[in-house]
Amino acid sequence: MARILVIDDHDTLREGMAVTLTRSGHTVTAARSGADGVAAYKKTPFDLVVTDLKMDGMDGIAVTRNLKAHDPTAVVMVVTAFGTIETAVQAMQQGAYDFITKPFTPDVLRVKVDKGLELSSTRRQVERLSARTEALESDVARTHGGLLVGDSEPLQRLITQVRKAAATDATVLVRGESGTGKELVARMLHQCSPRKDGPFIVVHCAALAETLLESELFGHERGAFTGAIKRKLGRFELADGGTLFLDEIGEIPASVQTKLLRVLQEKELQRVGGEETLKVDVRVVSATHRDLQAEVRAGRFREDLYYRLHIVPLQLPPLRERPEDITTLARHFVTRHGPRVNKRIKGLDDGALRALGRYAWPGNVRELENVIEQSLVFAEGETLTAQDLPTHLHGPGTRVESGLPIPSGDRPLPDILEDLERQLIARAYEKAGGVKTETARLLGIKTSALYYKLEKYGFISKGERPEDN
């Protein structure tokens, strides 16, 4: 049940209370003096202390003061004779939670003790939760938000910018290649902001069709469209008081861009099919791997929306620009995934770290995490070696033997990849003699996907139908 300390220099009263509480199922320790009781508590804390008020030497007030100084969560009840209530009040001012006046029956003692134990349980629970929160906050501080791992200068510069931006309510645009951790930056912005106790809501804009995206963001009323059988709250409403992260913002269609701009400007919205205007208090963080300024020039992205999103720009460095973080990240992922995937693995040897350091990591941190998790699955020893890594990481010169040059930095990787894709499509289109079904077969993609890309790169006019050869 509970561990209770009884302190009383009167043998009969002390033993009587001990017997009553023991019969109630508690474990009772009895002390003959205030000093003995304080010493016993300091050796092993108790759930509840029952102490007499009037004792030779250290009295009940001094006992209470000493115990509360040692353990602020200590729950102390004092026993006092009728007519000395003022003294009992003094004890409560020192931190005692209650008092009981002599003489009292065993039932009264049990009721008082039960109330004290309930308070003790609550205080211990609060203490545990506080300790857990402090541990989490310490971990957050140690790992730069618990999310961004590394000590390189580019990452440290970004972390400093994130912390400064988090203190404000400004809209943030996170730019970076795929796999660099844009969502992690958004989460750190939320965790370090005054909104950290509010919701953090994520919308992957590229994964949703236009009609679904509009409903996802702004919600809809029942009957707004076929299949809308009940009202649905949008992500803006769900994020009220917190942070909304819009991933791949460059993929949203023009009609949604217009409505998004209104929400950002006016802090209000209407659900799809609704007439009621709803106020929302949301901090928006967006992310993209695209060059939005180029998208604006091409007419695919609203200029006014771009500037509304671009109030605080943050650029995530690719892993190739912070190679000194590869070792730290690799060890972090072993610690993170090892207990779940392969408990035997304790770390990485020097050969594995050298192999990881030679690779260019086009997929950035996400690719590194996948490589470590895959290696953990097949490793048989206690340490990851170079032979445990995927075959494309074996051997010297991995970084420079790739058939593609490493970008110089004047063009972002997404632009380079788009240029390579356009060239591949052009070669396949030429080889297929302009036959689109054959072009799609050569590229290994669906015909519908090919039409989208042909329109995108200007090989056919917009709206050309599949039956047009």
68 pLDDT exceeds 70? yes
Look at 357 and 130; give whichever has higher pLDDT.
357
CATH code (residue 381): 1.10.8.60
Spacing of C-alpha 161 from chain mean position = 19
Q: Among 279, 301, 317, where does a domain finish?
A: 317
| Residues 240 and 333 grouped into a single domain | no
Q: Among 262, 293, 317, where does a domain finish?
A: 317
| Residues 84 and 220 grouped into a single domain | no
| Residues 261 and 294 grouped into a single domain | yes
pLDDT at 396: 47
112 pLDDT exceeds 60? yes
pLDDT at 125: 65
188 pLDDT exceeds 90? yes
| Residues 173 and 65 grouped into a single domain | no
| Residues 207 and 293 grouped into a single domain | yes
Look at 198 and 129; give whichever has higher pLDDT.
198
Q: What percent of the chain has pLDDT over 70?
A: 87
Q: Is 173 helix (H, G, I), strand (E, B) or coil?
A: strand
pLDDT bucket at 465, cuts 50 / 70 / 90: low
415 pLDDT exceeds 80? no
Distances (CA, A) of 298 to 90, 130, 198, 415, 434: 78, 53, 37, 14, 26
- Tell me phi and psi for residue 368, to 5 degrees: -60, -45
Collect all residues with Cβ–Cβ distance below 8 Å to 318 and sequence separation of at least 6: 176, 177, 180, 361, 364, 413
CATH code (residue 300): 3.40.50.300
Q: What percent of the chain has pLDDT over 90?
A: 51
Q: Is 402 helix (H, G, I), strand (E, B) or coil?
A: coil
138 pLDDT exceeds 60? no
Average pLDDT in the chain: 85
Residues 247-269, mean pLDDT to the nearest whole number: 92
In this predicted model, what pLDDT tens digit does every residue of 41-51 receive, in sequence order?
A: 999 889 999 99
Residues 84-96, mean pLDDT to the nearest whole number: 76
Q: Is 442 contained in some domain?
A: yes
Q: Is 244 contained in some domain?
A: yes
| Residues 295 and 341 grouped into a single domain | no
Q: Is 404 contained in some domain?
A: no
Residues 14-43, mean pLDDT to the nearest whole number: 93
Q: Is 178 contained in some domain?
A: yes
Evaluate if pTM is beyond 0.85.
Answer: no
| Residues 33 and 66 grouped into a single domain | yes
d(CA 218, CA 27): 59
Q: What is the extent of the structural domain holding 371?
A: 320-393
| Residues 311 and 253 grouped into a single domain | yes
In this predicted model, what pLDDT tens digit does every residue of 282-305 receive, in sequence order?
A: 999 999 998 999 999 999 999 999
377 pLDDT exceeds 80? yes
Q: Is 408 contained in some domain?
A: no
pLDDT at 189: 94
Q: Is 142 contained in some domain?
A: no
135 pLDDT exceeds 90? no
Q: Among 278, 295, 317, where does a domain finish?
A: 317
pLDDT bucket at 201, cuts 50 / 70 / 90: very high
| Residues 297 and 351 grouped into a single domain | no
CATH code (residue 443): 1.10.10
pLDDT bucket at 141, cuts 50 / 70 / 90: very low
Number of folded domains in the chain? 4
pLDDT at 395: 52
407 pLDDT exceeds 70? no
pLDDT at 41: 94
pLDDT at 456: 79
Collect all residues with Cβ–Cβ distance below 8 Å to 278 and sequence separation of at least 6: 237, 268, 269, 270, 271
Q: Is 439 contained in some domain?
A: yes
Q: Is 187 contained in some domain?
A: yes
CATH code (residue 38): 3.40.50.2300
| Residues 271 and 339 grouped into a single domain | no
| Residues 431 and 303 grouped into a single domain | no
Identify which of 90-104, 142-156, 362-376, 398-412 has the greatest average pLDDT. Answer: 362-376
| Residues 373 and 431 grouped into a single domain | no
